[in-house]
Amino acid sequence: MTNRLRVLFLAPPPELKEPAEANLVSAVGARHDFIIYDRKAPLAPQFKDIDVVIDFGGSMGTHEMADAALSVKLWQILGTGIDHFDLDYWEQRNIPVANCPGKFTGVPLAECALMFMIMLSRHWYETQENLRKGLFYKPLGFELESRGLGLVGFGASARELARRAKAFGMRIHAIDIEDVSPEEQTEFGLEFMGKPQDLDQMIRQTDFLSLHLHLNNETRHIIDERRLNLMKPTAYLINVARGALVDEKALYAALVGGRLAGAGIDVFSTEPPDPDDALLNLPNVIATPHISGDTVETWRRRAACAAENIHRHAVGLEP
């Protein structure tokens, strides 16, 4: 028999709450008591007898909430990354934590990365300027076919990008800490599959370098000045993962110094970045406001993921 649980949703600010809240109400509210946390009300009473907390993106919870979560048996993060979540603190409080893994955002992240690649290859900003000026037939772009794509990390989003890049006829190389079977390498069209020690070699060879990593102490600034200098001056950097994977000051210097052709960026070390950030105003940078993983379908999948984990807890299974 399934127990009816009390589920507390740590909602984001009003301008960000939809469609996440509506999807959660639909997926969770029918089976369980769905309660939205009120940041203007006292904290402790709202956590009384709560079984599950749903934390929007892992950024809504505080240490005080963890301390008050005496009855909570599952802290469900509605997102993938936990680089801004103090997991050690929750573990000290013996509160199990779950997230919505990369497979839930693999497709939209890959599509956004591919969008950047196409726009950069066709010199998008220059096309818009020329259109307004009435200057036709320029600039001259290039095709993605036969261009080298380097994937740093080969998880869900990188695999989805490889599927699409393979259809475009690109030469695909990848790096990951895990082994990838020969059958999978064939399936995704990989010409090369390496380990972290092969990263520099791959960087030197690729025309597009796309990042697909979690952010942690080992990956922070994995693309630094030295590695940017290894890239071809005609190459492009794509980042739809985490901003701090890249040394942004070094990236800016490489872009203005002609040591890198351009970049497609959806994520930043500080979000939101300063609107006057020089990086955002370069003609060879295409930037979006951390939307690569957010689609209508993403939020449906995340709500379903949270609902499944809550149901599993209700019937005594591990999340």
For residue 2, what pLDDT is reported?
Answer: 63
148 forms beta bridges with 171
With beta carbons less than 8 A apart as the criterion, state whether 81 and 100 touch: no
CA distance 57 to 63: 16
Q: What is the pLDDT of residue 80?
A: 87
Catalytic residue among 163, 214, 221, 290: 290
Half-sphere exposure of 31 (CA within 13 A, CB side): 18
Closest by CA to 214, choosing from 96, 130, 99, is 99
Q: Is 271 a known active-site residue?
A: yes
242 in catalytic set: yes
Q: What is the DSSP string of 75-98?
A: EEEESS--TTS-HHHHHHTT--EE
Taking the chain (319 residues) in runs of 10, the rounded mean pLDDT of each run is: 87 86 91 94 96 93 96 94 89 96 94 98 96 96 98 98 98 97 97 97 97 95 98 98 97 98 97 92 96 95 95 92
Name the DSSP class of 16.
G
Q: Give the model's pLDDT for residue 279.
A: 95
- Of residues 147, 159, 227, 242, which has the active-site annotation? 242
Active site (annotated) includes residue 84:
no
All domains in the chain, ordered by first residue: 6-101+295-314 (3.40.50.720), 106-287 (3.40.50.720)
Active-site choice (143, 191, 218, 271): 271
Give the model's pLDDT for residue 255.
Answer: 98
